[in-house]
Structure 1
């Protein structure tokens, strides 16, 4: 998976030690309510399109950029889905804690396809027929199900199980 030049420079100094990074992800629905997922090339799991925010980039811009780069789909943001920190340990041993901002989005164009080397498959799934997903992906999908719900966050002092298990973005 491509690593941004910014993160590559950080890793040159600290190796695989923990870094805190800004991350974004999208829960994209089409006009029928199907949800867009991508099968990650690094671990083979289905997940939501996601990535890091580049220096100087706003989270909403990063979310839409990552979505298109990974899936070929264009979307508009309908609302903020939530915000939380989430640990990730990559297969190469790199450890990150992402401050992730996720968005509920509506597909507006493009064609769902593998659009870079971060995914091996891209597909739309009916919400009742999702493939096996980790708790982190499920949390983001569930917190964006209601188009009018407020943005989600962990309550102060709480430790939601989906936010403590290292996994994919």
Structure 2
């Protein structure tokens, strides 16, 4: 489902939904981070998604990462909590969701990298390579917090 991201935009629609989500900074043995080019907005992002009833936050991060990238992960830490009320996602169905994401740190344990119906392209990047990639500001904050060693954070 296509979406439009608004960050601190006075013309953004008002949020009508708040859904907890997990995002995952997945770092391989070479220190590279896994990002995916999203199908709904064309931007690079971390794997992640909506926290489902009946699952733990770690299980959410593990499930979403596998669904979106094909990689099985182990959660090894916590990057931060990101809850900017000025960052909303407007979906075609009328939902306007306020950002509420808990970002986890993980390492790969199994699986093969693959494309999902939520992304065009998953790829590994060195920390330096992430600088020039197009991504929404909220994802940029998470990647930069990890890259610069500024975690855990509450934003």
TM-score normalized by the length of structure 1: 0.74
1:135 aligned residue (125, 134, 137): 137
2:90, 2:114 → 1: CA distance?
24
After superposition, the C-alpha distances for 1:87-115 in whole angstroms (9 at most, x for unaligned) are: 3323514200132111111112211111x
Question: RMSD between aligned alpha carbons?
Answer: 2.1
Structural mapping, 1:90-109, within 5 Å:
90-92=90-92, 93-109=94-110
CA distance in 2, matches of 1:107, 1:71: 11
Gapped runs of 5+ residues in structure 1? 3-15, 155-169
Which segments of 5 or more consecutive residues in structure 2 lack a partner in the other structure? Answer: 3-13
Query: Who is 1:117 aligned against?
Result: 117
Residue 12 of structure 1 is matched in structure 2 by: none
User: Whole-Å Cα distance in 1 between the matches of residues 145 and 151 of structure 2?
Assistant: 9
Report how many aligned residue pairs link the two structures.
139
**Which aligned runs of 4 or more in structure 1 are off by greater than 6 angstroms?**
none
* 1:57 maps to 2:55: yes
Shift of 1:67: 0.2
Q: Does 1:68 align with 2:66?
A: yes
| Aligned mates of 2:38, 2:102 — CA distance in 1 | 19
Identify, as 1 or 2, the structure richer in strand: 2
Report SS of the residue matched to 1:137.
Answer: helix
How far residue 57 of structure 1 moved from its aligned partner, in angstroms, is: 1.5
Find the aligned partners of 2:148 and 2:15 in 1 and give their Cα distance: 38
